[in-house]
């Protein structure tokens, strides 16, 4: 492979570009979370309605991924990505100018075109390197990306306190313009074998959906991500309503999860090729479940304060960071010639499940129930992810046994 050179379109895209592409998607998801209660008050909306900015956004991105993957397989990664970011910038202007909850949510739904960055960063990696190396590279990309959402909620909380919630979207707009410029200057087309037609890519979906391996990897990402999305859906209510935290303080405490995710991605980048994707996914699932269990134990013991809730979420972030790069690499490697479509379809199923869990988490929390319904949803999703991973490992062992018997 030609060595990437930053801002040189004659070489494959630099890892910095992939980090920025994925980082913008993460920033747009979580920067304004500490401001959600203030936004609800400003628009005169209840928490369940303003929470659609998360769950509705996730649902929209799930649908859009079904189109973005095939589009990129047919027309290339570069034009689809540039178009997605461009439409996202226009939608962000709508969010900034919104004076009603309806207009804001319309702008927020239009922002879903940014999901092209997350979908295509994985497909681009798979275009460049084989599966085990892809898991490692995706780990490093998401590790670097995590720096952005680590500071995002902190910055978002401060901006909300100082200038109002709109300042969050102004900052997102500025960062989006920067990413647009970098993508334009650096992103060489990596899809060297475009499909014959757009419709052909949709006809390829049955090939993916009939693959047990595709379902195993996809369900692993769905439930592992679902733990995190449920946390995103419920944590603002827990922090602001149950624990009485300010937007700035809430943003700071979100750093526990983000830092854990960065550590997990570093470990994935370092060890995925050595240990193997199955082991990494399983290890990540158990670490995630441990973090949820620690929080539950602390609250049952009467330690009902912010640090007891947010600090163990470090392990939830770390578990996701360890398991997701391997699972995502598996999704796009089941049928390498359909990497874009696989990334889009797998991402749609993953985000769709995440949207559902986020909405459930946001709707079942009340002052009377406390945090335990949220922890129950997160724990159930974590266990389901572990079961999905075990199915992949078991199928792989059976396949190797059959191959060994045939050779013997």
Condensed to tens digits (0 to 9), the pLDDT of residues 352-362 reads 787 788 777 77
Provide the token pair at 271. Answer: 């060890």
Tell me, yes or no, if the pTM score tops 0.85: no
Contact 234, 365 (CB under 8 A): yes
Per-residue pLDDT at 244 exceeds 90: no
- Looking at residue 380, its pLDDT comes to 93
Q: Which of the given ranges, 26-30, 301-305, 308-312, 341-345, has the highest pLDDT on average?
A: 308-312
pLDDT 10s digits, 218-236: 899 999 988 988 887 788 8
Percentage of residues in the chain having pLDDT higher than 90: 25
Dihedral sign, Cα of residue 5, residue 343, residue 115, residue 202: positive
Provide the token pair at 290. Answer: 């441990």
List of residues 6+ apart from 126 with CB closer than 8 A: 134, 329, 332, 333, 336, 339, 343
pLDDT 10s digits, 99-132: 999 999 999 999 988 877 777 777 777 777 665 5
Per-residue pLDDT at 403 exceeds 60: no
Per-residue pLDDT at 178 exceeds 60: yes
- Looking at residue 140, its pLDDT comes to 67
Number of H helices, E strands in the chain: 19, 0
Q: How many other β-carbons are positioned within 10 Å of the β-carbon of residue 303?
A: 12
List of residues 6+ apart from 134 with CB closer than 8 A: 125, 126, 329, 332, 333
- Looking at residue 198, its pLDDT comes to 63
Looking at residue 196, the DSSP 8-state letter turns out to be S
* Strand ranges in 23-102 using DSSP code E only, listed in sequence order: none
Distance of CA 60 to the CA centre of its chain: 14
Mean per-residue pLDDT of the chain: 82
Whose CA is closest to 242, among 79, 373, 390? Answer: 373
Per-residue pLDDT at 402 exceeds 70: no
Per-residue pLDDT at 328 exceeds 90: no
Provide the token pair at 131. Answer: 């599966």
Token match 């980048």: residue? 269
> What number of residues does the chain have?
408
> Which whole number is the average pLDDT over 233-243?
84
Token match 């046994």: residue? 401
Q: Which of the given ranges, 139-143, 250-254, 271-275, 306-310, has the highest pLDDT on average?
A: 306-310
Looking at residue 14, the DSSP 8-state letter turns out to be P
Q: Is 195 helix (H, G, I), strand (E, B) or coil?
A: coil
> Which whole number is the average pLDDT over 390-400?
78
- Looking at residue 146, its pLDDT comes to 62
> Which whole number is the average pLDDT over 167-180?
93
Per-residue pLDDT at 38 exceeds 60: yes
- Looking at residue 338, its pLDDT comes to 67
Whose CA is closest to 362, among 36, 39, 25? Answer: 36
Whose CA is closest to 53, among 105, 100, 91? Answer: 105
Token match 């990413």: residue? 179
What are the CA-CA distances from residue 340 to residues 223, 302, 333 (Å)? 21, 48, 10
Token match 């939830």: residue? 316
- Looking at residue 143, its pLDDT comes to 63
**pLDDT greater at residue 140 or residue 271:** 271
Segment among 27-41, 188-202, 372-386 with least mean pLDDT: 188-202
Per-residue pLDDT at 46 exceeds 70: yes
Q: Is 111 helix (H, G, I), strand (E, B) or coil?
A: helix
Which class for 2: exposed (0-12), middle (13-18), buried (19 or more C-beta within 10 A)? exposed
- Looking at residue 406, its pLDDT comes to 62
pLDDT 10s digits, 264-287: 888 887 887 788 888 899 999 999
Contact 150, 259 (CB under 8 A): yes
- Looking at residue 104, its pLDDT comes to 94
> Which whole number is the average pLDDT over 184-207?
73
């Amino acid at each position: 492979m030609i060595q990437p050179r930053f801002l040189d379109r004659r070489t494959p895209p630099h890892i910095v570009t992939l980090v920025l592409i994925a980082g913008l998607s993460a920033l747009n998801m979580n920067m304004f979370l500490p401001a959600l209660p203030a936004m609800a008050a400003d628009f005169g909306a209840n928490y369940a309605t303003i929470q659609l900015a998360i769950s509705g956004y996730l649902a929209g991105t799930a649908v859009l991924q079904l189109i973005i993957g095939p589009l990129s397989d047919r027309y290339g990664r570069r034009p689809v990505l540039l178009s997605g970011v461009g439409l996202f910038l226009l939608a962000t202007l709508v969010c900034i100018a919104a004076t009603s909850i309806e207009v804001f949510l319309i702008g927020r739904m239009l922002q879903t075109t940014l999901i092209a960055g997350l979908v295509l960063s994985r497909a681009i990696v798979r275009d460049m390197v084989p599966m085990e190396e892809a898991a490692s590279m995706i780990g490093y990309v998401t590790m670097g990306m995590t720096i952005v959402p680590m500071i995002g909620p902190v910055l978002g909380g401060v901006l909300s306190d100082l200038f109002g919630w709109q300042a969050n979207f102004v900052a997102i707009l500025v960062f989006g313009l920067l990413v647009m410029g970098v993508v334009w200057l650096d992103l060489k087309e990596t899809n060297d074998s475009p499909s014959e037609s757009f419709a052909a890519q949709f006809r390829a979906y049955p090939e993916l959906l009939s693959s047990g391996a595709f379902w195993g990897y996809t369900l692993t990402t769905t439930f592992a991500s679902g733990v995190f999305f449920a946390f995103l859906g419920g944590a603002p209510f827990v922090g602001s309503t149950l624990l009485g935290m300010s937007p700035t303080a809430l943003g700071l405490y979100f750093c526990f999860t983000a830092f854990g995710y960065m550590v997990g991605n570093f470990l994935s980048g370092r060890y995925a090729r050595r240990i193997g994707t199955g082991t990494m996914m399983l290890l990540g699932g158990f670490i995630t479940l441990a973090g949820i269990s620690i929080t539950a134990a602390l609250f049952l013991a009467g330690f009902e304060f912010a640090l007891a809730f947010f600090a163990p979420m470090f392990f939830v972030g770390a578990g996701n960071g360890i398991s997701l790069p391997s699972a995502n690499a598996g999704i796009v490697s089941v049928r390498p010639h359909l990497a874009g479509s696989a990334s889009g379809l797998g991402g749609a199923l993953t985000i769709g499940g995440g949207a559902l869990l986020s909405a459930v988490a946001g709707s079942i929390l009340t002052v009377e129930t406390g945090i335990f319904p949220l922890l129950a949803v997160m724990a159930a999703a974590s266990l389901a992810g572990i079961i999905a991973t075990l199915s992949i490992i078991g199928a792989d062992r059976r396949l190797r046994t059959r191959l060994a018997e045939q050779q013997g």
